[in-house]
């Protein structure tokens, strides 16, 4: 018997509380991380995940999610899903009911319909208002040009390019939720869900649904999950790298810092950062970040509620 533990990105509080209760009753890590994600996905006030997530450049919400089972290394993911919520549940069903790992866009929407999921417009008034405001701020009009490459570039760029690394200008375009759980049977599971980068080019997929980039979980060595500019984690396979560093015998702190060094070697643009949360098979947790001032959430069995902790950086 292990004592349950969870770690998450900062926005995971409500999901973590519900999922910890499930773990304490003997529920599986896989059920816990799915439940936790669904709670954040359903929250219209979280504009980085699920219902109410920030739209792409065309004003459409496209959801990405992935889930991984540390006991079997099975994984499921969906990307660029429109018109259905709870992308994490769809990801789990890809894992459990198809021979595939990743199903995208039209195929994922078809699967949702086949599985009897109810279609639901994921755009809220608030998210659309922000989308229109973003165009206004940048002096652009939706639909005025076919050149979406330039529009998406202008909308996603921080207004003040002096804000080199992470100033607020960019923070409102990013966001994702990460959960990793250890259950009483000693199994690990990890889940990641997002509406991706706000104002992105249609069909853009980040790290969240890519196993190895934004999510990785292996009972033998540990698990890692990411938030931030997905393109960075894709280029250096951040989540899998951290777990591989653990496999090679590094401590959790060293493994996370090594994964950060991989990220810091990239030519990240203004406002582009990456955060990681991670857990070892015995329930040690940590958070890592390429920029100052970032925190993560964790909860151990003996804690009444989740607590925030500072993420490690590379010195």
The distance in angstroms from the start CA to the end CA of the chain is 37
Tell which residue, 182, 203, 166, has the closest CA to residue 293: 166
Q: Which residue has the tokens 């706000």?
A: 198
Catalytic residue among 89, 156, 173, 176: 176
Q: Least CB distance from residue 297 to ligand ASP, whole Å? A: 15
Q: Least CB distance from residue 173 to ligand ASP, whole Å? A: 8
Toward ligand ASP, which CB reaches closer, 27 or 214?
214
The residues of the shown chain that bind ligand ASP, judged by CB under 6 A, are 48, 174-176, 194, 196-197, 206-208, 214, 227-230
In angstroms, rounded to a whole number, what is the distance separating the alpha carbons of residues 311 and 297?
Answer: 10
Sheet holding 215-218, edge to edge: 215-218, 222-228, 274-279, 285-289
Toward ligand ASP, which CB reaches closer, 198 or 306?
198
How many helices (H) and strands (E) would you count in the chain?
10, 12
Q: Least CB distance from residue 234 to ligand ASP, whole Å? A: 8
Toward ligand ASP, which CB reaches closer, 70 or 209?
209
In angstroms, rounded to a whole number, what is the distance separating the alpha carbons of residues 129 and 276?
Answer: 30
Query: Could you confirm whether 238 is annotated as catalytic?
Result: no
Toward ligand ASP, which CB reaches closer, 206 or 256?
206
Tell which residue, 118, 124, 71, has the closest CA to residue 95: 71
Q: Least CB distance from residue 175 to ligand ASP, whole Å? A: 5
Q: Which residues are known catalytic residues?
A: 176
């Amino acid at each position: 018997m292990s004592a349950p533990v969870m770690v998450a990105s900062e926005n995971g509080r409500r999901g973590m509380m519900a999922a910890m209760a499930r773990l304490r009753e003997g529920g599986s890590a896989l059920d816990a991380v799915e439940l936790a994600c669904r709670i954040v996905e359903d929250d219209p006030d979280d504009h980085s995940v699920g219902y109410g997530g920030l739209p792409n450049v065309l004003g459409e919400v496209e959801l990405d999610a992935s889930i991984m089972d540390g006991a079997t290394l099975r994984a499921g993911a969906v990307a660029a899903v429109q018109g259905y919520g709870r992308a994490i549940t769809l990801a789990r069903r890809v894992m459990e009911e198809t021979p595939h790992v990743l199903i995208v866009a039209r195929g994922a929407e078809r699967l949702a319909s086949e599985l009897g999921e109810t279609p639901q417009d994921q755009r809220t008034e608030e998210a659309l208002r922000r989308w229109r405001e973003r165009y206004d701020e940048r002096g652009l009009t939706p639909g005025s040009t076919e050149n979406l490459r330039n529009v998406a570039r202008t909308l996603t760029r921080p207004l003040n390019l002096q804000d080199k690394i992470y100033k607020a200008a960019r923070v409102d375009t990013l966001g994702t939720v990460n959960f990793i759980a250890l259950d009483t049977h000693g199994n690990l599971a990890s889940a990641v869900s997002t509406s991706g980068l706000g104002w992105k080019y249609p069909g853009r997929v980040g790290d969240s649904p890519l196993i190895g980039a934004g999510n990785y979980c292996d009972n033998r060595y540990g698990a890692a999950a990411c938030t931030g500019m997905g393109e960075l984690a894709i280029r250096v396979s951040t989540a899998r790298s951290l777990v591989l560093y653990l496999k090679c015998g590094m401590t959790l702190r060293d493994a996370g810092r090594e994964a950060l060094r991989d990220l810091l070697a990239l030519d990240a643009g203004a406002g582009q950062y990456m955060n990681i949360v991670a857990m070892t098979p015995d329930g040690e947790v940590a958070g890592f970040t390429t920029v100052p001032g970032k925190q993560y959430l964790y909860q151990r069995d003996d804690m009444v509620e989740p607590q925030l902790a500072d993420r490690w950086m590379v010195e």
